[in-house]
Homo-oligomer: A and B are copies of this chain.
Amino acid sequence: MLFPVGIVGFRGYSGVEAVRILSKHPDCEPVLLEHRADAGEDAKLLRKSGVRRAPSTAESVKAEGLKAVLLATPPEVSMDLAPKFLEAGAIVIDLSGAFRLQTGDRYKRWYKEEHTAPGLFSEAVYGLPEYTREQVRGARLISNPGCYPTAANLAIRPLVAAGIVDLQAGIICDAKSGVSGAGRKASLKTSFCEVTENFSAYSILNHRHVPEVLQVSGIEEAQFSFTAQLIPIDRGILETIYFRMAQPVSSAEILAIYEKQYAEEPFVRLYQSPHVPDLHAVCRTNFCDIGVVADPATGRCVVVSAIDNLVKGAAGQAIQNLNLALGLSETAGLR
């Protein structure tokens, strides 16, 4: 007997990935919740797949017996649907930025619009299992982290906590992402000829994912320089993180900090210095891979953190959170 799990936004890149994972999940099965914007794409295959479909309504939650619903939708849609699905009794896992920032003011500053469901901030749990596992286990509303912050926080937080970062000099996070991070909608900026054989920076010092890093890693905006950049590939995020060491230590000592933090984590992997991960190592997996090159003689340190933006950065982490919330094995469907 499989738990039926609803997915709104199942035609977007994160949604497709969530359906893919749930279709192979040992304990869950996907139910596609049709939203009005979903119309118009016909199946081309002669015989249809057997995936269940239902309207994207609170009634469907009850009629289909949905234990949980994943919202792979823009923030404004999530703010509209989350209260309805919660009231209908489903656990809601929201992949948008709607419930990540803790207050309506902060949301307004970074998302440039009013928050329409601020009453839900108090019960929204930020679902980064490596740090909030216990809260996720009992949560009804889980806010799935952004893709860039997931790679950044897993690399930065243990080092800040260990006190080895010179915060005066600041932390630089030079982030690069595949194009699927921009979502699946027609746009000149993400059209093939504009992206291929190109590389471009955007939202310099101004990206809406920045406050998630500040919240989780406990640093100030003035101490953190973040640039997002577009790689001409489909998926994957690689972040090159630079800082000066408050106390010069070796690569091995930094790896020891990570090992202590992540020894039991199923989805964090570490590299022997000077090896660092590339995107092929993590694509189509739920891993976050981390490598370090430190130069104690000069105090310079470089950390490379890599994830698949659609898996650990979106749908995979959402299923990881789903597993925790439903009391299943945390790695079910993700290995």
A residues engaging B (CB < 8 A)?
13, 24, 44-47, 168-170, 172, 174, 176, 178-180, 184-188, 190-201, 204-206, 221-222, 225, 227, 229, 231-236, 238, 240, 242, 244, 255, 259, 269-272, 274-280, 283-284, 291, 293, 295, 297-300, 302, 304, 335
Contacts and interface: CB of A to CB of B under 8 A. Distances in A.
A176 B231 CA distance: 10
A196 B227 CA distance: 23
B270 A46 contact: yes
Given A169-B244, A186-B191, A188-B184, A204 B293 contact: yes
A279 to B, nearest CB: 5
B269 A205 contact: no
B272 A45 contact: yes
Residue in A199, A298, A304 with the greatest tally of chain B CB atoms within 10 Å: A199
B192 A279 contact: no
Residue in A169, A205, A225, A304 with the greatest tally of chain B CB atoms within 10 Å: A225
Copies in the complex: 4
Contact of A242 (B195, B200, B242, B269): B242
Given A192-B196, A204-B302, A295-B205, A240 B233 contact: no
B192 A225 contact: no
Contacts of A297: 222
A278 B227 CA distance: 14
7 contacts: A44-B277, A46-B269, A176-B176, A176-B199, A184-B193, A190-B192, A197-B280
B46 A280 contact: no
A125 B242 CA distance: 34
A83 B193 CA distance: 32
